[in-house]
Chains A and B, each alone.
Chain A
Amino acid sequence: MCDKNKALKLAIIGCGAISANAHIPNACKSPLFDVVYLVDKNLELANSQASYFDIPNAVDDFQEIIGKVDAAIVAVPHKLHYDLTIPLLKSGIHVLVEKPMAISFNECQEMIEVAKENKVLLEVGHFRRIQPVFQLAKKIISEQWLGKIESFTAEEGVVFSSPVASAAMFKKEQSGGGVLLDTGPHLLENLLWWFGDYGNLQYWDDACEGVEADCKLELTFDGGVTGSVNFSRLRNLKNQVNVKCEKGSIEIPIGWSEDIILKYDNADYETKVSATNEYTGQGNLGYLYNELEFFASTVLSSDAYFMKAEEAAKTVRLIEQCYANRQNLDLEW
């Protein structure tokens, strides 16, 4: 049940899995939001979610919310991020758009410009930026706890079985891409944050005119750090970043632990460093709640950015270049 006396009047656009499982319950729980609209092209879905969470309005056209809300969460198929975000920003509505910010760098740049022109906030759902374990990783890497950074390997993947409300994410015309565009933005954004901008890249994936389920990148960052990244929807990978440094290596877990392991060359011991906050232990749901709080705080006080949209746009540029330089990952299966 939503408390109707909250600060920001919010619309949530897109009632798929991420909204149903995180954004809607989180926004309803937060004292900073009054969720007044749910929007989905599938009006039946919007109505059922609105009824379940006791939200007063459910509509199938996002234009209906214009002039009636302060802010919106855009959680629709990737290809529609730009199409929906631009008119919302132009109408003076603050937007938190799910990652990836859009499917092309040009779209991202236009979104940023429109947000500036209309003096509204545009944030992107890169919630790992506020996760303590990734912030700690940034500190360890920046401060070179184990000496100069040399290289890294990173992989993120599970056999995909999450409930999805529609097939949109598997249709190229709606999703714009596969695992690179869907799973990739979080980790790639982390790598750009930790290592700086990239120079060269090579990219392989297994798509055969559809969307990729498995892919591989090789990257060289401007500071000389090189590494490889794997993403998959077909296999359970380590879900870890391993950073090779001058004096040892750093193991950064992705999603399954808050502990970073520091391994020293020529030593028979290792160090575990942990990073937690009040949301730790609640899984992604807690950090997504934290993300909403940041979004609301930024709208209300404009000094609580967790990440600027310009940085999210860099991730989209990297992904766009991957697709432009695609090579075939020839898997027998």
Chain B
Amino acid sequence: MVKKGAKVFVTGATGFIGSRLVKTLFQQYDCEVTVLVRDFSKLSSLSRYPVNIIAGGLDDENALTEGAKNADIVFNLGSAMDGSTEYFKHINVASLGRFLEISKQNGVQKFVHTSTISVYGCPESGIINENRKRQYGNGDYADTKLDGEKLVVDFAKQNDFQANVIQPTIVYGPFGGCWTVARLLGFPRSRVILVNGGDGICSAIYVDDVVNGMIALANKDTICGECFLVSGEEKVTWKEFFGYYSEMLGGTEFIEMSKEEALEYYQNTQRVPSTIAQLKDLFRDQELRHKIRDLPPVKIPYQFLKKCLPRKLSDSVIGQVVDHSEAFSVTDQPQEVEKPIWTLIPEEVSFYASKAEVSVVKAKNTLGYTPKYNLKEGMEKTFKWASWARIL
């Protein structure tokens, strides 16, 4: 039971959801929290609380044993996020298997494993609930998370061990990486594609609701080997979700594309660019343009033209000789450079086009899970944080 004095071991605690979980375990439940940390430089937020720190990674059996032997409850949020396929398998599957065994051997009562909605692939429509067929082929992360949750389910059932899986959807909120900070930093620098006008379904969930779902799962007795989706309850579109960030930023350049157009745009970006196009890209770098302009074979005629011809004429001639586009200009006139389009890979295009809706009925009925924050409330909190964090 997550309650005062409960001993809790958290992996992935320096991450977005993990650090929020630790904060809640301290502030709302007064738990004794131990965290597994691989990179000490990420401890700033966690160290505000009196956490016990164990140094190590998810493949460090000694560190996992040290954490598990003093824990009633394990929240496993750690995961490989990048690296080779082999590394993903090593961390998200093989090491997870050992962690389950170590936890069971050391008397852990509850094991909450964090997976992802990505294990369901990207259905075009319909309802996504826990009975829906999982799909491979969504990248190393999603595929190994799928293997991982299967491992948890099988281990739990075979060993009568209360290990269960939580499957968060699109998690946003303070300190949120992919769905908050990356958007707030990236949108001002990009033109953002809204696939099908942004009418796909965004199953957004405020980070505190994920944490509440995880705690509700840890507090539920007598279930083992079950998966639970947690998401917000509103039907939200991507246009609405991204619209909140646009509003925070005072506007974003959105480009509406059909799914086909977005895919075609992606295909075009994958073609080997022509020599001229490569040169154009190269010459977008002002510093490089100036360096080239200062090379004697270019500088001498350049200076001659600048000096001898009237300004308008010299700019025009230089433009014809050296400049083949606005991005290729050697003039000192400031150029309005169009922002690049935030290219979507095909998997992302399908993801944003999907109209599948997530059902949290199982979590509601079994765990008593109820999301506390609708999108407006969650985004208001996110805005307040982003202003404080000087991201806006």
Interface residues, chain A, CB within 8 Å of chain B?
159-167, 170-172, 178-179, 206-213, 233-237, 331-333
Q: B residues within 8 A CB of A159?
A: 44
Evaluate contact between A162 and B41: CB separation under 8 angstroms. yes
Q: B residues within 8 A CB of A162?
A: 41
Q: A residues within 8 A CB of B174?
A: 332-333
A213 and B48 contact, Cβ closer than 8 Å, known pairs A163-B41, A167-B55, A170-B53:
yes
Partner pick for A331 among B42, B50, B388, CB 8 A cutoff:
B388
Evaluate contact between A332 and B385: CB separation under 8 angstroms. yes
Partner pick for A208 among B48, B381, B385, B388, CB 8 A cutoff:
B48
Evaluate contact between A208 and B49: CB separation under 8 angstroms. yes
Q: B residues within 8 A CB of A165?
A: 40
A-B contact count (CB 8 A): 69
Which size class do B's interface residues fall under? 20 to 34
Q: Closest CB of chain A to B13's CB: distance in Å?
A: 12
- Besides A170-B53, A178-B47, A331-B388, 12 other A-B contacts (C-beta < 8 A): A160-B44, A161-B41, A162-B41, A167-B37, A167-B55, A171-B53, A206-B48, A210-B49, A212-B48, A235-B389, A332-B384, A333-B388
- C-alpha spacing A165/B389, complex, angstroms: 27
Interface residues, chain B, CB within 8 Å of chain A?
26-27, 37, 40-51, 53, 55, 174-175, 381, 384-385, 388-390
Please, could you name 28 A-B residue pairs with CB atoms under 8 Å apart, sorted by A?
A161-B41, A161-B42, A162-B41, A164-B40, A164-B41, A165-B40, A167-B37, A167-B40, A167-B43, A167-B53, A170-B47, A171-B47, A206-B48, A207-B48, A208-B27, A208-B48, A209-B50, A210-B49, A210-B51, A212-B48, A213-B44, A235-B389, A235-B390, A236-B389, A331-B388, A332-B174, A333-B385, A333-B388
A233 and B50 contact, Cβ closer than 8 Å, known pairs A167-B55, A208-B26, A333-B385:
no
Q: A residues within 8 A CB of B47?
A: 167, 170-171, 178, 210-211, 213
Secondary structure at the A interface, as helix, strand, loop or mixed, is: loop
- C-alpha spacing A179/B47, complex, angstroms: 11
Question: Across the two chains, which residue of chain B brings its CB closest to A160?
Answer: B44
Interface hub of A170, A171, A213, A234 (most chain B Cβ within 10 A): A170
Evaluate contact between A236 and B390: CB separation under 8 angstroms. yes
Evaluate contact between B49 and A209: CB separation under 8 angstroms. yes
- C-alpha spacing A160/B175, complex, angstroms: 13
Question: Across the two chains, which residue of chain B brings its CB closest to A172?
Answer: B50
Q: Closest CB of chain A to B33's CB: distance in Å?
A: 11
Partner pick for A160 among B41, B50, B381, CB 8 A cutoff:
B41
